[in-house]
Amino acid sequence: MKVLNSLKKRSPSQISWEQIINHLEDGVVNLDQDGKIAFFNEAAEVLSEISSAQALRQPLNQIFKREPWLIDLVKKTCPPRQESARGEGDLITRWGRKTPVSVTASPLQDRHGHFLGTILLLRDIKHQKELEEDLKRADRLVMMGTLSAGLAHEIRNPLGGIKGAAQLLRRSIDEHPSLREYTDIMIREVDRVNQLIEQLLDLSRPPRLTLAPVNIHEILEDVLLLEGQAVAGKEISVRKKFDPSLPPIRGDRAQLTQVFLNLTKNAFQAMERTGTLTITTRLETDYHVRDQGSGRSRFIWVDVADEGAGIAEEDLPHIFSPYFTTKNGGTGLGLAICYRIIKEHGGLIRVESIPGKGTNFKVSLVVAD
């Protein structure tokens, strides 16, 4: 009897289905015959930023009114078709945050095939999308790098010829000072093109990193000191949310300073007059972000978040591309350089932006062992 009792205690039947489904990583939503929400698990709450109390007994098209694609998917599961359907799309929260999800919608039927409702399975595919995007971007950059390196060499040779000829010309027209002005312009402009080509080549050459254990907080403090004047005349405050127990990371101090200088510069530029720049550091605890291959390394994250204008959705895919800029007099090189340096460090760079609200650039780096 005793044995039986102790067995009974551990029996999995004591864990209810509801508990199990509530703890799944995927969102599970059950709709009744009328399309009203009958069940909404915890993952669905997290994904939609809607509590189960708010969602229950409400019509699906009320709760997901920003997701017409999802409603179309559910329609396929209803009579007369009663088919399963799959799709991908964004869940958009009240605050405008978007999470890409994949959805499987299946009709729920009794033994006689009578329609009882719909089951929705929602899976967060943000990390998967980001990794795919990363690969595409890396490919594009390698291609651009090869292309521009070739082109740069082709341009450099004739430029050298032009400059040499202009210098000779200048010497032989010494007695006509008014003409010297023209040769000087030629030489100056050739030097300028050379400088541009140098930058282009810099971008296509992987940086030579000197890796050593570095304290990321020291780098960030340096950057804030250097960028301090940039906020003069604006009402901008800086909030530091540093985790004091953060271990040192493996990195190149000068290059990483460059990365965070570029990011804070952009953040300050995005805030016209007022706002807060928040820099947060933390140890990575979410292990889904990476694919395999990062081994046993531990990572830290640095968030550089502003309350500026945000980035338009159609611009987001381009911001890391060299020469993409929306600023008068911008070079469009800042983020391309950040991307390349972080990549060489074996880290990740991510962006989340809500137009009108602000932007958060997130950088991960490897902890020094």
Ligand X SMILES: Nc1ncnc2c1ncn2[C@@H]1O[C@H](COP(=O)(O)OP(=O)(O)O)[C@@H](O)[C@H]1O
Does 278 engage in binding with ligand X (CB under 6 A)?
Answer: no
Residues 249, 41: Cα–Cα separation, whole Å = 38
Query: How many residues sit in the footprint of Mg ion (CB under 5 A)?
Result: 2
**To 10 degrees, what angle do helices 253-270 and 216-227 make?**
50
Judged by CB under 5 A, which stretch of 57-65, 259-267, 307-315, 337-345 contacts Mg ion? 259-267
3-state helix vs strand vs coil in the chain, percent to 5: 45, 25, 30
- Please name which of 98, 141, 200, 143 lies closest in space to residue 318, comparing C-alpha atoms: 141
Could you give the strand order of the β-sheet that contains 37-40, starting from the edge strand earlier in sequence?
37-40, 27-32, 115-124, 98-109, 85-92
Partner from Mg ion, ligand X, none contacting 325, C-beta within 5 to 8 A by type: ligand X
Q: Which is nearer to Mg ion, 219 or 267 (CB)?
A: 267
- Per CB under 6 A, contacts with ligand X among 315-334 are 315, 319, 324-327, 330-334
Q: Which is nearer to ligand X, 193 or 351 (CB)?
A: 351
Bridge partners, residue 102, by sequence:
88, 123
Q: Which is nearer to ligand X, 16 or 328 (CB)?
A: 328
Least Å from the CB of residue 258 to ligand X = 12
Number of neighbours of residue 103 by Cβ within 10 angstroms: 23
Least Å from the CB of residue 340 to ligand X = 11
Does 307 engage in binding with ligand X (CB under 6 A)?
Answer: no
Sign of the Cα torsion 45, 49, 54, 55 reads negative
Please answer whether residues 351 and 338 qualify as being in contact, where contact means their C-beta atoms are separated by less than 8 angstroms.
Answer: no
Does 359 engage in binding with ligand X (CB under 6 A)?
Answer: yes
Both structure tokens of 367: 């902890």
Does 334 engage in binding with Mg ion (CB under 5 A)?
Answer: yes
Please answer whether residues 304 and 264 qualify as being in contact, where contact means their C-beta atoms are separated by less than 8 angstroms.
Answer: yes
- Choosing from 335, 341, 349, 366, the residue that interacts with ligand X (CB under 6 A) is 335
- Per CB under 6 A, contacts with ligand X among 231-270 are 262, 266-267, 270
Q: Which is nearer to ligand X, 29 or 277 (CB)?
A: 277
Least Å from the CB of residue 190 to ligand X = 24
Partner from ligand X, Mg ion, none contacting 141, C-beta within 5 to 8 A by type: none
Partner from Mg ion, ligand X, none contacting 319, C-beta within 5 to 8 A by type: ligand X
Please answer whether residues 56 and 37 qualify as being in contact, where contact means their C-beta atoms are separated by less than 8 angstroms.
Answer: yes
Residue window 263-302: x/- pattern of binding to Mg ion, with contact defined by CB under 5 A: ---x------------------------------------
Judged by CB under 6 A, which stretch of 89-97, 143-151, 193-201, 307-315 contacts ligand X? 307-315
Helix (H) or strand (E) holding 27: strand 27-32
Helix/strand/coil (H/E/C) assignment for every residue in 298-314 = CEEEEEEEECCCCCCCC
Residues 312, 7: Cα–Cα separation, whole Å = 59
Both structure tokens of 318: 């381009």
Does 308 engage in binding with Mg ion (CB under 5 A)?
Answer: no
Binding site for ligand X (CB under 6 A): 262, 266-267, 270, 306, 308-311, 315, 319, 324-327, 330-336, 359
Binding site for Mg ion (CB under 5 A): 266, 334
